[in-house]
Structure 1
Amino acid sequence: METRVRQKKSGEETGEMELNALWHAIAEGENSLGKILEELREFRKKNNEKIADIKQDLNSTNKRIEEAEGRIAEAKEQIQQTGEVLLKLLAQLEAKLTDQEDRIIFIRIYRVPEGGENGSLTIKLIKKLLKDGT
């Protein structure tokens, strides 16, 4: 009977030890869960801060892109206007050139010998004829 009593006592002691270990594990688990919860909250806070920074950067980037698009549109308009002005000027210059070409007067100069048409001699003869008037 003593062995049964001893076994019963040792079984109770073992049960108490197991119960204590279980409570200790639960307490540690609660501490671990509390620690995990705290880390998750800290992680969420950091992520929210980073997301806010990213949103701010994105907003400033969008503003810069909108400004750039506006400047590009203005530049395109100026280029188009410049092209139109250049085309008008070109048309005017072509008209003037055509007018100038239409007004060319061909002058015949008599008394220039046939053999004198070799460049510098011809120019000298024409200058002499214009000076002298003869």
Structure 2
Amino acid sequence: MTDKVVLDNQLCFQINRAHQLFNRFYQSPLKKFELTYAQYTVLLALWEHQGVTINQLGDKLGLGTGTLTPLLKRMETAGWLTRTRSTEDERRVIVNLTSKAVQSKSSILEETSNCISKLDFDDSTYQKAMDTIDDIQHRLDKSVDQRER
């Protein structure tokens, strides 16, 4: 690490910049479905586990309800999902995919599958990047947990 404080040397800035670039990177393949990158990640999570609460979905995506609720409302209006109150506990809202989302899954994944291949990663480089990102997330989670005590 360097002692000189320069924006480009800040890990937080570089990760944020990569996040912004991924948003733009996925715009083109998602445009034909009228989806944003954030909406795409919601679909990915729900394709894995449907019928989850907004809180469970937020935990999976790392989003608070203040961010997630308007996003889900827009997706519901567009016909991608439904939000219904739990019959067991009316405070809980359950999120489910619509038939549109289920039927569009293969088309959406086909369009987006080319994205990572455009980065020209071999399997080893891809796995190293995933391991590094996982390690950073683990360290951040641990650091946040310690600060909240």
Scaled to the shorter chain, the TM-score interval is: under 0.3
Higher relative contact order (CA 8 A, sep 6+): 2
TM-score when normalising by structure 1: 0.21
> TM-score, normalization: structure 2?
0.19
Greater per-residue strand proportion: 2
